[in-house]
Amino acid sequence: MKKTFLLFLLGFIAFSLIGCTAAIPTKNNSVTPQTQTSLQETATDSPSSSHSVVSEPVESQPTVSQTLPPSATTSQPPVSSKPSTPASKPPEKPKPIPDTNLTDIVQYTKRPSYQSVQSEIAALAQAYPELIQTESIGSSVQGRDISLVKLGKGETKACIIGGIHARETITVSYTMRCIEEFCIAYTQNDSIGSFDVKTLLDTYTLYMVPLSNPDGLEIVTGRDTPAVTVTYRKKQYSHEYTTISDYKGNANGVNLNKNFPLLWEKINNKVNTPDAENYKGPGAASEPETQALMQLCENNQFVFMTSIHVKGDCLYWSDTLNPNVGVSQTIANRLEREYGFYKCKTSDDVNGFGGGFENWFRETYKRPGFCLELMPLTETVDPLSDVNHTYFSNTVRWNKSKAVLSLIMTYCKP
């Protein structure tokens, strides 16, 4: 009996020990459902490493938002698996808006022709007979009139010219629009910028030659051809050759702004025959257009002259022969400060300023002579289409450039 009881007791103790050992989890034998799933997947992928540690999260794991409290998910949102959105591009510069022609007579949104300029001058004289008189100051190589518009009622005289370079068609339109805008402002007792136009035109008479190179305009716009064989040379700063769109000369292939008798003989640009851009001519003042402008200045006591050009958004006002005539520097400073036209340094290269109209005027009369370059360097001069004229206000910065002549008149008054 005792033997039987001892056997039963030993069996019970052994059974109890085995049960307790199985019930106590250890670090090595604890298995969570997630770990079990991972191990099963690992075993399936790699039978030879059934007990390897898996670093990638498995699908059955809870997401970050499920395990963190609401406050944490608010301050630290889940990281998106999508690629980050690239930084947005800076806004593009707005494109210029085509102009609507605001004047009744001058069609400045279209390229001019010799005939359109003549017709508009006649129409302006008819519309404003109390302000405008017209005449011809001479003829071009091919016999076209060089027309003069006398604008104003005053005794003080000043000379304004446009279109001396054939390809600069926008300068013709700019000069013509200035004429009509002056007339409108005068009759309406209005101002241009901050300048009272009636006061200015009662003081001044402006001698304006909108198209001083009529043959050149007709050549560059395809209505005529040069009277001589013209060379199209390689451009100075590129490997390209000049084309008709670069044409500056008159019908003789002479750059009129290198033909005036100022250090003409010193010009040595190695261009000795008719050329699209840089031929100074066979002699100083050899061209009829040059002679007509010189005679106009000789016949009148102009207090200043201004030649309108296109490229540079700047003002040439000084050269080494005449570094500061009269109020030239004052005007250059004001134009730079108020209207943003860069004040050029004193011209010191004879190949650049020799033979120039404004330079000749300064030297001859010891009075201010200016070269106003209207267009920013970023703009393209395109005489073969209407594009510069279609966007006239943007091309010539009309909101600012319209008041330039008024400012010069104000500071040059005797």
Query: Where does the pLDDT of residue 10 fall: very low under 50, low under 70, confident under 90, or very high at 90 and above?
Result: low
47 burial class (0-12, 13-18, 19+ CB within 10 angstroms)? Answer: exposed
The Cα–Cα gap between 389 and 172 comes to: 11
Name residue 33's amino acid: P
Split at pLDDT 50, 70, 90, the class of 44 is: very low
- As a whole number, mean pLDDT of residues 164-180 equals 98
Report all structural domains of the chain as residue ranges with CATH numbers, in order of start: 114-412 (3.40.630.10)
SS3 content of the chain, % helix, strand, coil (to 5): 40, 15, 45
Q: What are the E-state strand segments in 55-173?
A: 132-139, 145-152, 156-161
pLDDT of residue 180: 98
Gap between the Cα atoms of 340 and 322, Å rounded: 24
Q: How do residues 217-264 score in pLDDT, each as one tens digit?
A: 999 999 999 999 999 998 877 789 999 999 999 999 999 999 999 999
CA angle 121, 124, 127 (to 5 degrees): 155
- pLDDT confidence bin for 28, thresholds 50/70/90: very low
Q: For the whole model, what pTM was predicted?
A: 0.78
Residue 338's φ and ψ, nearest 5 degrees, are: -95, -30
Strand partners, 132: 151
pLDDT digits (tens, 9 = 90+) for 101-120: 988 999 999 999 999 999 99
The mean pLDDT of 286-300, rounded to a whole number, is 98
The whole-number average pLDDT for the span 51-64 is 39
Which run of H or E residues covers position 64? helix 64-67
| Euclidean distance between CA atoms 36 and 5, whole angstroms | 44
- CA 279 – CA 33 distance, rounded (Å): 95
